[in-house]
Chains A and B, each alone.
Chain A
Amino acid sequence: MTKQELALLSAQRLDIKPVYNMKDDFIPSINKSRRTAYRYRKYLESLGILKAARGSFILNTSVVAQSSLLLPKLMPSLDALKNGRRFGRRYNQADMKFIEKQADHQLVTLDYKVWELTKYQYPSDLYVYVKDINRTTNYLKENKFKEGRKGHIIILPMLGDFTNEIQRVYLDCIAKGGRSVRDAIAIELLYGDKLQFRGRFNIEDIRNVQENLRITTNYEIPLQSPLK
C-alpha cells in the first residue's frame, strides 16, 4: 500500500465530526508517530479534502468515503474547487445576474446547475468555470467586485474533463461535500443513466432525498435506479 493510500485509509477510519484535533483524534486513530500523522495531513491537504489550522482540521468526509476507483475521477473537481476564487459586490441576486450576462463563463456547476437539473435544493452560490481565470477575476475587480470569503460568485479554473456535463456536475457535488452531497444523490436518482461513474452515499441521505423528490417534484423512482 502506498503512503497516499495509507493516508486516505487513516482518514476513513475517523468518526464523523465537524472538526478534528490532531492530538486527540488523528494521532491516536492512526497509531503512528506524530511526524507520520502530520505527513498524512499534509498529503490530504494537498488533495483538497482537508483544511487545517494549527492543531485542528476539517475533513471532507464525503470524498473520503468514496472508493479508490472514484477518487482519481474526483481530482479535477477537487483541484478546481481548491483554486476557486470567491467574489462579491452587492452580495445579493444582482451579483449573479451580472455574471450571467457579462462574464465569459463556460459552464455553471453546483448550486445553480443542480437546481436547474433537479429542483431539489435552492441555490445559494454561483459556481462558474472559466477558461482564463485571471482574465475573468481582473474583469470582476474592474467592475468593483471584491475577493473574499463572503461573496456568492465563485470562479473556477477549467480543469479536467467536461465532455459529460452532468457527470462533471455530479463529481463536483461529491467533491464539494456538505449539502452538495444531497445534490449528487438527486442527480443520480434523476439522471443515473447519464452517469458513468457513481459515488457512495449514506443510506439515510438517499432515503431522505428520494422521499423529498417524490413529494416535491412528483418524481417516481425508475425501475432500473441504482439507488433503489
Chain B
Amino acid sequence: MKYRYNPLLNEAIEITKDLGDVTFIGAVAVFMHTNEGRESRDLDFGIAYQITDEQLFEKGYIKYGKRKNGYSTPRPPFIVDIYRNGNINGISIDTITSTAEEFKIDTKRRHAVVKAAKLEVLITMKYRANRVQDHEDLATIARNRFQKINWEYLRNITEEIEFNQIKSAMQAFLKI
C-alpha cells in the first residue's frame, strides 16, 4: 500500500527502530490497514519480549504521571502507552504480538517494516472498546478492508453471539 503522509507513521517507524519487535494497536494499526484515520500524538503498542522500565529509560522512554502504561518518548511531544503483559479488551498481549501483521513502508524517504495488530484482532478490540472513536474506526475498516476480513479467524477468537454482532455491524457499516 502506498501510504499517505502521516507523522504518526514516521513515529511508529522510529519506535520500531528503538525497541524492535513492537506491535501497534489503536489508530496507528487502523492507519496501517486502511491508510486512513486520525489520532493525537499518543501511540499504543504491545511488546513481544520482556523489557523493564530501566531498560526503557535507557532507550529514552520515561514513565510519567499516574497513567499505568504511559511513557514519554525520545521525540517529544509524542507519548506512548506500552503494553507488556495482560490483555487489551480480552485479547492477550501474547496473541496480539504473535499474530501481528507486517507492513512494508516504501516511500521516497523511508523504507521500513512496521508491525500492527492483525485485522481481525483489531476489529475485535475496537468492537469491545465501544467508544465513539472506535465506532468511527470500525466504519473506516469496513469501508476499506471488508473483503479482506478473515471471518473464520474472527469466529475463532470470539464467542458465537459476539461474532454475529461484529459481522452484522461490519456489514451495516459497509452499506450505510
Residues of A within 8 Å of B169, CB to CB, are: 17-19
Given A57-B176, A92-B4, A215-B79, CB of A120 within 8 Å of CB of B130: no
B7 x A18 contact (CB < 8 A)? no
Interface size class of B (residues with CB under 8 A): 35 or more
A19 x B143 contact (CB < 8 A)? no
Residues of B within 8 Å of A19, CB to CB, are: 168-169, 172-173
Given A18-B173, A216-B77, CB of A179 within 8 Å of CB of B127: no
- Restricting to A77-130, which residues have a CB under 8 Å from any CB of B? 91-93, 111, 120-124
The SS class assigned to the A binding surface is mixed
Tell me the number of A-to-B contacts counted with CB atoms below 8 Å.
Answer: 97
CB < 8 Å neighbour of B132 from A51, A61, A92:
A61
Residues of B within 8 Å of A121, CB to CB, are: 38-40
A122 x B39 contact (CB < 8 A)? yes
Q: Which residues of B contact A (CB under 8 A)?
A: 4-8, 36-42, 64-65, 67, 72, 76-79, 127, 130-136, 138-139, 143-144, 168-169, 172-173, 175-176
Minimal Cβ-Cβ distance residue in A for B130: A16
Q: Does A10 contact B (CB under 8 A)?
A: no
Given contacts A124-B38, A212-B40, 14 further A-B contacts (CB under 8 A): A17-B130, A53-B176, A56-B168, A58-B176, A121-B38, A178-B133, A178-B135, A179-B133, A182-B40, A212-B41, A215-B72, A216-B40, A216-B42, A217-B77
